[in-house]
Amino acid sequence: MAPRVAPRPSSTHRLCVRILLASFLAAHRLVASCSASFFSFFPAAARRHDYRDALAKSILFFEGQRSGRLPPGQRASWRGDSGVSDGAAAGVDLEGGYYDAGDNVKFGFPMAFTTTMLAWSVIEFGGDMPRDERRHAAGAVRWATDYLLKTLAHPGVIFLQASAPHCIGGTVALVHVAETLG
């Protein structure tokens, strides 16, 4: 039996990836050039808030929204594994990622945006973060990107939504890229 060769991505797919990368790089340069002056606009009282504590709590919030088999270092100890069979009805593995708004639904585009902003923040301000928080933030980004890569693992298809069986009938929403963009 001959080994199965993965199909080559379409030119539309390659173009979309290039546009996303170019947008990210352009945005990163823009923020890098103006972020130092950005904080000078805040009044002195606002700068006295404990942003390290706020950041630590927001990263902990991400851990509380995790879907899938949770890692041993999970700090939200009240959480258990969930959504371990997401995508099974459609024959795909969509375990992982983050729930949106506490409703046991994972939406691809909001998660991609949130992950981009989190990653961007870590790139921009990670040097100012305590080492443990930077490690937790990197884990939060990795948790989302591992899931998002699964949503793109099948040529010509993007899975946009996954939900628990009791939410919206346990749906898996997908887009056939070839039909929509090609």
Asked if residue 89 is part of any domain, the answer here is yes
CA distance 151 to 149: 5
Asked if residue 68 is part of any domain, the answer here is yes
Helix 108-125 and helix 11-38, axial crossing angle in degrees, nearest 10: 40
E strand or H helix at 176:
strand 172-176
Which range marks the domain in which residue 121 is found? 50-181
pTM: 0.67
* Domain count along the chain: 1
Query: Which pLDDT value is given to residue 16?
Result: 53
CA distance 134 to 54: 14
Asked if residue 3 is part of any domain, the answer here is no
Query: Which pLDDT value is given to residue 177?
Result: 45
Q: Please list the ranges in the chain whose pLDDT falls under 50.
A: 33-35, 39, 166-171, 173-182
Asked if residue 75 is part of any domain, the answer here is yes
Asked if residue 1 is part of any domain, the answer here is no
Asked if residue 100 is part of any domain, the answer here is yes
Asked if residue 102 is part of any domain, the answer here is yes
CA distance 18 to 14: 6
Asked if residue 94 is part of any domain, the answer here is yes
